[in-house]
Structure 1
Amino acid sequence: MDLVLIDINDPESIYFECACLYQILYKPMMVTAYIAVQTFPWAFLSFAITQLDILIYNLENMKELIKERRAEKNCSEDEAFQEIFTGCVLHHRAIISFLDTVEAAFRSQFALTLLFNGCIICCTGVQLFSIQSLTKDFVDVLWVLAYLQIFIMIQFGDCYFGNTVYRKSTEVATVAFGCPWLTLSTESKRNLIVFIARAQKPLLITAYNLVPITLLTFTRVMNWTYKAFAVMNEMKK
């Protein structure tokens, strides 16, 4: 504010009112924009998780779906299975394509979140232990703890949704193996084997194909953050 060439401290000036309005509005707007940007990948990953749940449900209830399809179209069990199974395969491919798009769009955000949140958590911990009196500066302690908790929850949120996608995707192959394949034709069995082989490769969200976004990564990041905090806190002493 020292670089501003106008006097904003004069209560009778219009610039004073503009500065007050700016101070009132910019923080809520910044917080709203930050929340929107941060929750974008969570929303997309939640959508992918829901689609994986639908796919798993269809594979688990394949027998009932085959019965319904046979009653509707008066076809054989193998034909009903092939029609339903083709839809499941297309659904799985659509989920893979969607997650590839999400990873391409947000891999920079995931990488920066892992890097900067670790640094912020570490520095905030050092600041917390730099407070002289916890009773006299109780309000400052609460603000620092709230600030620390926000960034930990942001880090945990990314890793939680990424880990849920990974966990749900690993269930697809197991559920597909439980389909009623014993009485199917050789071609249907072959197609099912190919699908199971592809589904055994888990869907993993990564930061630039370097770091997987999972709860294991969250644990490792917090471990390294604590080590850096211990070193910085010891150097400060």
Structure 2
Amino acid sequence: MVHITAELDVLNQNISRMKTGGEENAADSRGPYITRVKLESDYKSAMAPVQFRQRLSSFPGDLGEEDRMYFILVENIKHHQLILVYIKKLEELMRTSIFIILLSNALSICLHVLGLAVMLQEGVDLPSVLKMLITFPAYSCETGLYCMFGQAIIDQSERLVDSAFNCDWINMGPRFRRSLTIFMLQASQPLNVKVGKRVILSRHTFLRLLNGSYSLFNMLHGVQK
């Protein structure tokens, strides 16, 4: 998940740097593609074969300025497509295991709070209370860790449209603008990682899990009374 966040950050920089004129811009736009090559090689070796043709060593010498910028846009779109495939494969790996972890953590938080409330009512047992206070943040941090990394992916993917708008599209031809518009439409849907086919790892999910744990605690506390 951290790797995907870094790839999206690199993609945002590559897209926003698409500007006409000068070898400096060409070098800036070409350099960060090394990260994409690393992502593709890792995916081929660890996941499944994905065929993407690369032309990363140098731009063809006979390209004009407009063709060169269109070539850079195509490479950025390929990078984005590769990230989409990577997220899909990551969801397949995390779909069941992380969903079970989040569900069990929510239940553990509820039971620990319930046990702490019962102990405080019946009489303070200091060692047991300390155990409850120590384990409660552990479950909360583990749940929040996954949701925090999921939120980072959403935040970086939401920047793609702004990065595309900040490039030098106004000085490009119709072919570049048309392709950029299609990319912006695709990027307008933020990327996210789903577990259990329905739960999106995000800040909102973390708050919902805490709220659900508190609601379950209220129900069990009422039954216990």
With the length of structure 2 as denominator, give the TM-score of the two structures. Answer: 0.78
The question of 1:68 aligning with 2:24 is answered yes
Please, which runs of 5 or more residues in structure 2 have no aligned partner?
28-58
Confirm or deny: 8 A CA contact 1:70 1:77 kept in the other structure: no
Give 1:130 deviation, angstroms.
Answer: 2.1
The question of 1:216 aligning with 2:216 is answered no
| Corresponding residue SS for 2:170 | coil
Structure 2 matches for 1:49-64, cutoff 5 A?
A: 49-63=5-19
Map of 2:139 onto structure 1: 151
Give 1:210 deviation, angstroms.
Answer: 1.3
Q: Percent identity?
A: 25
Give 1:197 deviation, angstroms.
Answer: 0.7
Please, which runs of 5 or more residues in structure 1 have no aligned partner?
1-44
* 1:21-62 deviation line (CA, Å, top 9, x unaligned): xxxxxxxxxxxxxxxxxxxxxxxx000000011111111222
- CA separation of 1:107/1:66 partners in 2, compared to 1, >3 Å: closer, same or farther? farther
- CA separation of 1:59/1:66 partners in 2, compared to 1, >3 Å: closer, same or farther? farther
Aligned pair count reads: 191
Instruction: Return the structure number with greater relative CO, CA threshold 8 A, min gap 6.
Output: 2
Amino acid paired to 1:163: Q
- CA separation of 1:65/1:126 partners in 2, compared to 1, >3 Å: closer, same or farther? farther
With the length of structure 1 as denominator, give the TM-score of the two structures. Answer: 0.74
1:140 maps to which of 110, 124, 128: 128
Partners of 1:231 and 1:90 in 2: how far apart?
A: 51
Structure with higher Rg: it is 1
| Corresponding residue SS for 2:95 | helix
Map of 1:25 onto structure 2: none
1:127 maps to which of 110, 115, 122: 115
Structure 1 vs Structure 2 CA RMSD? 2.0
